[in-house]
Amino acid sequence: MKLAKLSLAAIIALGVSAFADVENVKFSGNAKLFYGTSDQDPNDLFDKKSSYGQAAATIAVSADLANGVSGKISAIGLSTLGLENNLVSDVWAGATDRNGNFVGTDAQWWVNEAWLAGKLGNTTIKVGRQELDTPLAFSEKWNIAANSFDAAVILNNDLPDTTLVAAWVGRGNGAPDGRVVYGISNGTDPFETYGSAIVSAYNLDASKVDGGAYAVAAITKLIPMTTAQVWFYDVADIANAWWVQADVNFEDAMPGLVAGLQYAYIDPQGQIDNLDESSAWAVKLGYNLDGLKLAAAYSSTDEDGVVPIANTATGLRGSQSKLYTEVWWNYGYVGAPDTDAWMISAGYNMEGVADLFAQYTSTTNDTTNVDMSEFTVTAGKSFGNFNATLAYIYTDADDQNGGDGYNTVQLYLTYNF
């Protein structure tokens, strides 16, 4: 990728000097160190063989230009800092390149965002490399590095309380190995035509995928107390998909009470046309008041489906799902075909002490007979711009650790500047 070969200094210089009438140019970024360990047999917690760790640094330059035009360039670097010598045996992100070679221990960096956006009346156009947040194609931010897209997005607000969205996604660096992004070795390009990750997950020919993906959506607050959204996706030669969601905030009737309803449908096309359609529905009930958040949700996926109801940008296996019942850590279960799932969670911001959170999720699958339950407790504490989050996860899944439950401990350290 030519862009990845540019030096950071050159990119920053381009970003700054190219703009003649600049209101504001901000340099910012963050540094992260993530660590995780589990006691899956035959290892104990904190054993090198069952631990994974990585560091990341992001530097971003954003600018407000004249006439409502803005832009951003961001680069991210990954490094194990040599942790593999003593403490860990795996990484969080960028484990393999697109050819399947393990490159996780290499120092690697790439431009993860480089976009310009302009406003024309009530219409905003954003073009370039960017992160996306749509129900079936999005940047997964749970990992130390998020996947991004080469895309063009148009947002229109001419209708009252309504946003119309049209998007074209050409390429993405989402990896189908559960680690969100492809790694880079010797300047290889981690971005590939959108949809390739899905095809690769079925061991089909990713080189035949072209055309990217198109999406249109309407997000409206015209219905009292409700935010409703309808999305349609056309991933060229891969699938057509629908996502419908309504989130209700009963603010006037009962402050703090919220509810939600989701429906998703994926119809495989092209190389995977022989697969049956997938669908899912989910409901949620929640209560949010003064730092306390309670939620309960249930979801069910169609028994005949094959493609999971999850992020299409990171393949299929282990992709995160936007279904309300999604687990905290073990992605890939909730959106799988023929799965019933339920989830309860509670979060509380104990002012000056910590942000506390707990979630229990249970899934059952009658087709595979693989059941999974996960219980997670987290505590997050900020010290100025530094945030530390400690997580404990208990996993009991029929297809993990020989069917025996096991413990996982994770530490997330983030410094923003």
Partner 1 sequence: MRKIIVALFVATLLLAGEYITLENGKVIELKPDGTWQEVKVVKKGGETIAIKPDGTWEKVEATKVEAANSLERAVDKKYKDEPLVKMLFGRWEGDGISYAFTKDRAVFKKKVGHSSKVIEGKWIVEKLDPKRKIIKINIGEGARLGFLTFGGVIRKLKIKDDNTIVDITDELEEGKSYTLKRLR
CB of 75 to partner 1, least distance (A): 16
Q: How far is the CB of 140 from partner 1 (least distance, A)?
A: 8
Give the integer Cα–Cα distance in Å for 240 and 195.
12
Shorter beta-carbon distance to partner 1: residue 7 or 24: 24
* Residue 255 Cβ vs partner 1, minimum distance, rounded to whole Å: 9
Closest CB to partner 1 among 5 and 141? 141
Return the closest-CA partner of residue 95 out of 199, 15, 175: 175
The single residue listed with the structure tokens 């035949």 is 208
Pick the closer one to partner 1 by CB: 32 or 179. Answer: 32
What does 349-361 look like in DSSP terms, one character per residue?
EETTTEEEEEEEE
The least CB distance from residue 325 to partner 1, in Å, is: 17
Minimum CB distance to partner 1, residue 322 (Å): 13
CB 175 within 8 A of CB 198: no
Cα-based distances in Å from 341 to 283, 300, 311: 11, 6, 17
Both tokens assigned to 263: 């429906």
What is the binding site for partner 1 (CB under 8 A)?
16, 22-28, 30, 32, 62, 70, 72, 117, 124, 126, 130-131, 133-134, 140-143, 146, 153, 155, 163, 165, 219, 288, 290-291, 328, 349, 355, 378, 380, 382, 384-387, 389, 391, 410, 412, 414, 416-417
Cα–Cα distance measured from residue 56 to residue 359, given in angstroms and rounded to the nearest whole number: 27
Nearest alpha carbon to residue 340 among 361, 359, 360, 355 = 361
Q: Give the other-Cβ count within 10 Å of 187's Cβ.
A: 11
Could you give the 3-state DSSP secondary structure of residue 234?
strand
Q: Which helix (H) or strand (E) holds 4?
A: helix 2-5
Question: Coil, helix or strand for 150?
Answer: strand
CB of 416 to partner 1, least distance (A): 5
Taking the CB of residue 318, how many other CB atoms lie within 10 A of it?
Answer: 21
Angle at CA 146, nearest 5°, toward 141 and 151?
115
Compute the least distance from the CB of residue 13 to partner 1, in Å: 10
Min. distance of Cβ 22 from partner 1 in angstroms?
5
* Alpha-carbon torsion (197, 200, 204, 209), positive or negative: positive
Nearer Cβ to partner 1 (28/85) = 28
